[in-house]
Chains A and B, each alone.
Chain A
Amino acid sequence: MKSRSSALYGVLGTLYCVFSVPSFAASPEVLGGHEGWLDRMGAGVRELGRGNTGTALEGASPAAYWNPALLPFIRKTEGALGADVRSQDRNGGFVSLQGRVASNLGLGGGVINRGDLNVQAYDKDENDIGFARPQAFATYFGVGMRTSRRNALGASLLVYTSQLDLGGGTGKVNFVGGINLGWYRRYDSLNAANLFPESWTSTRAVADFFSGSFSSAVVVRNLGLNPRLSAEFDQSVSDGQPDPFGGFGGGTSSDFFPKTLVIAGEWRKNLWDRNFTLSGEFMDYQLKPQIFTPNPAFHAQAARVGVECELAERTYLRAGMDRLNPTIGLGYGYRVNRRRVITFDYALTMERGIMTFNPYAFGIKTEF
């Protein structure tokens, strides 16, 4: 009875995440710079192709970012690498190395990069001061531990650096101390029909269709090591040289990463002799450096959905919707030998806000 009710909660949670997408996706979103790429654009080309859903995805890369509780479910040590270039010279990439080090313990690390390769910079008087190439790197070190066969908890540490490459020291960020906490649970071979009385024939038929494997996850990102539990950082604004940016003479300026609550679910089933995966994520961003504020003015929400289909053996077609931005992905696993597969991933994204397609996103992943 206990397992039945917990399974019910899992199913309901997943369905909530999946079907609440349209309403939350229409919410106003005003998140800006650093979190704009870190928590809005995700990491991993496979995940990108399926709508940037990776929080409840076993084998997500880098799991230390997506959900450190996924780490103990990684069977082999694996490494991944990816890069993408988007419109307006935005560049990005990631590298990860992760795996299980004990039967119930996984470790992983990953670096996520985002930046802009070409910002023509002028001062206030419109003098050309060169090209800026703002680049940010978020490095995560994560550990995950299984508390049961299907349940795991994890935590990761964020080390963040950013610079403008413009000289003068302006724009540097060096931050250590962001914490991500994650929980992950899987429900294998769940027969949803058993959740309903036998007299509910039609309901059980629908539930039977949705029977399969489920997983759910909850992650809180960007917790800080201070009384506000807020991931706050300082950015250098001027190095003391004569005021090249319009009269601001201060040395540093402070900002924070928004606390992000992610509730995610995934449903896996074999349909028409093909493996399907349907994922959904709901995110709430708190835009105030406090432990928690109930004021909705300081919260923004977003949602993502993604689907992956194994068209043929180790050949994947993916699609998704990240805050109403559609994505399409392809994956192919090349078997090197009986024990090793190298997977190549590709993703095409569309950014609806400016109606632009981004066709350059490639990734590779292998097991060791």
Chain B
Amino acid sequence: MIPVRLARGLAPLLLAAVFLAPTCASAAANDRLASKSITQVYTVQTTVFALAEDARSFSWLNLFVSSDSAVGVRTVDWPWDGAIEGGTPWRLSMLLNANYTSPASDSLRVARLAAARSTAILGDAPLALRGDSLVFKDAPVSTSRGAALTALAVKGDTALLGFGRLGLAYARLNPVETATRLVTDSTVSFRGLPLADSNSVPLITCRWNTLCRSDSVTVPAGGLDSVVSLALDTTAGGPWILIATPKGLRRGLWRGTSFPYVALPGIADSAPEPVRSVFVSPSAPRAWAFTGRKVFYSDDHGATFRVPPDSLAPAFPVSRLTNYSTTRAPQVGFAGDTSFINFNMDSVGIARFGHDTLQVNSVGLDLDRVLINANDSLDVSSEEALTGVTVARNVGASVLVLGTARQGIFYRRLDLPAKTFVNLTSRAALKSGLGEVITYPTVFAGPGTAASPEYVRIGYRLKKSGKVTITVYNYAMEKVRTVVRNAPRQGGVPRSESFADDRWDGRDSSGRLVSVGTYYIRVESDQGEAAFGKVICVRGRK
């Protein structure tokens, strides 16, 4: 009798213990970022800009290496509304290489400049030059305006613009990031590149982003070359400008007037091949140039070019590296003396070029043979799916970033051999409206060293912009530390927009390491949103 009554008494307790616990342990269902089609990636210092084409819209993926070598990612919808002064509604269809040595906040402006490629610069003047991207006097209105920005390179606060057959122009960037006007110059002078002469010629001077008042364009005898791609070599004196054109590769000094052709081995002057893309290492004298069928490299800042010998890659001779994609030119990312090349070929994807080796992942060779190690998890169904390659650098850290047509972005740390590729689409998509807070790494073994401190990153997504306070509590819900207090944060951003601030170093308010155990991080906004994340500290105080 007693056991029966005892059992009856215990039953509610047991039921509570069994059923209440799972109920309270709300499952954190994680959506996944939709796979993106990446059309371009490029680097501005530690920031990688990736252009993702999603149906008819575009968005940024901003991936960067912070000072403590962590890789942070935030996705930013493209805020550009096309309202450039005097401009036409634009359509961003490409991002161009930029190498800009200014603070990271300026990189967005550079990207905007590159995005404004369809902006009207020329207008109703009776300009006579016919050809790609010039304005025609008697042509129908629908085709009579606009000069396409085809190439871009940046040095300091000055952008070097390539405008097809209009040649080159310099423009000073507006230091105010939020300004509508992207450049401070009121006029832009275009210098054309004659086919028959290495000296550039003045063509026309127009007001930036408005109608051009010139009556005509003086086209030199023999016609004009067209700027397809630009690269700026700032590692040597000059700096040197390398220009890919339909008639070959040209080279000249920054703000110089002479741009002679550079001899490319195997290509006769009488039968020039169009150079589709050119790249220059930001830290080494190496440069790469690609025609439709051949690849060339330089070890002297682009003064001379060579063809990589077949002996560098016995398994896949360089001479077989032909027939690149007709829609995408090859791309190169640099990490020290190593070049990572995306040939954009059906059967050949990323190649790694070292001092005297060229590893190519031909059919039958996995990417791990070429890239990093056997644990690399980069898994693209077709090499053709690779659409971009670039390398982001920071002190002691570098990140290889690959864009793919169907699976978004892959990235991996190059300075940590044990690291493998991470697919951005595998990262958790945070619920909107501060539905959850994630911490990474959740199992925290910090605090690292003074030279390389470790942090727990705090990711959240606000529904509305507001002031955020982030507080760390211990298991007994006693306040341990206030990490951020009333800091303004933007709403709708899928990750914290302040990667450098929204983090915890595993210390209490007195600066002492906390003991091992579970900690709770509360993010609350003055707009009434609040949520918790959790951290398990495994590094003891002794």
Contact = CB atoms under 8 A, between A and B. Distances in A.
Decide if A and B are genuine partners. yes
Interface of A: 28-37, 40-41, 81-83, 85, 87-91, 93, 114, 116-129, 132, 134, 164, 166, 170-171, 173, 232, 234-238, 242-248, 250, 253-256, 287, 289, 297, 323, 334, 336-337, 340, 342, 344, 351, 353-354, 356, 360, 362-364, 366
Contacts of A170: 443, 538
A127 B519 contact: no
A255 B24 contact: no
B519 A33 contact: yes
B5 A40 contact: no
Nearest to A361: B16
A253 B479 contact: no
B534 A88 contact: yes
Contact of A134 (B428, B520, B536): B536
Contacts of B445: 237-238, 245-246, 248, 250, 253
B17 to A, nearest CB: 4
B474 A125 contact: no
Contact of B418 (A134, A243, A256, A344): A243
Contacts of A132: 442-443, 536
B272 interface: no
B29 to A, nearest CB: 10
Residue from A88, A129, A171, A254 whose CB has the most chain B CB atoms within 10 Å: A88
Given A81-B13, A117-B25, A354-B473, A232 B443 contact: no
Contact of B475 (A90, A117, A254): A90
Contacts of B480: 30, 32
B323 interface: no
6 contacts: A93-B17, A117-B25, A126-B428, A245-B443, A342-B9, A351-B476
Contacts of A171: 443, 536, 538
A134 B537 CA distance: 11
B16 A362 contact: yes
Interface of B: 2, 5-6, 9-10, 12-13, 16-17, 20-22, 24-28, 30, 70-71, 73, 375, 416, 418-419, 422, 426-428, 438-446, 448, 454, 457, 459, 473-480, 508-510, 512, 514-520, 522, 532, 534, 536-542
A212 B17 CA distance: 39
Given A34-B516, A255-B542, A85 B6 contact: no
A65 B73 CA distance: 47
Contacts of A340: 2
B440 A125 contact: yes
Contacts of B439: 122
Contact of A31 (B73, B428, B478): B478
B540 A254 contact: yes
Given A123-B441, A123-B442, 6 more contacts: A29-B478, A88-B534, A116-B534, A127-B422, A128-B428, A248-B446
Given A124-B440, A289-B542, A36 B476 contact: yes
Given A32-B514, A40-B476, A125-B422, A235 B6 contact: no
A116 B534 CA distance: 10
A291 to B, nearest CB: 15
B520 A126 contact: no
Contacts of A342: 5-6, 9
Nearest to A289: B542
A32 B519 contact: yes
A255 B480 CA distance: 18
A238 to B, nearest CB: 7
A117 B522 CA distance: 18
B517 A126 contact: no
Given A248-B539, A253-B516, A124 B441 contact: yes
A243 B415 CA distance: 14
A236 B517 CA distance: 12
A164 B443 contact: yes
Contacts of A366: 6
Contacts of A235: 516, 538, 540
A255 B10 contact: no
Given A33-B515, A118-B28, A134-B536, A254 B542 contact: yes
A120 B442 contact: yes
Given A30-B508, A124-B70, A247-B416, A37 B475 contact: yes
Given A33-B518, A247-B416, A255-B540, A118 B26 contact: yes
Given A88-B532, A362-B13, A237 B538 contact: yes
A258 to B, nearest CB: 8
Contacts of A134: 517-518, 536
B25 A34 contact: no
A245 B442 CA distance: 8
B293 to A, nearest CB: 39
A41 B12 contact: no
A173 B30 CA distance: 30
Given A33-B475, A119-B536, A125-B422, A85 B24 contact: yes
A325 to B, nearest CB: 8
A265 B212 CA distance: 92
Nearest to B18: A83
A114 B475 CA distance: 9
Nearest to A92: B475
B518 A255 contact: no
Contacts of A323: 478
Counting chain A CB atoms within 10 Å of each CB, which of B418, B442, B542 scores highest?
B442
Contacts of B518: 33, 116, 119, 134
A84 B5 CA distance: 23
A236 B510 CA distance: 26
B27 A118 contact: yes
Contact of B71 (A30, A36, A40, A125): A125
B24 A360 contact: yes
Contacts of A337: 2
Nearest to B69: A247
A8 B48 CA distance: 75
A362 B12 contact: yes
Given A81-B13, A89-B26, A126 B440 contact: yes
Q: Which of A248, A287, A289 has most B Cβ within 10 Å?
A: A248
B130 to A, nearest CB: 52
Given A32-B514, A120-B442, A246 B13 contact: no
B489 to A, nearest CB: 19
A32 B477 contact: no
Given A34-B515, A126-B459, A336-B5, A364 B17 contact: no
B438 A126 contact: yes
Contacts of A297: 510
Contact of B477 (A247, A250, A334, A353): A353
Contacts of B514: 30, 32-33
Contacts of B476: 31, 36-37, 40-41, 351
Contact of B474 (A32, A232, A245): A32
B427 A33 contact: no
B440 A123 contact: yes
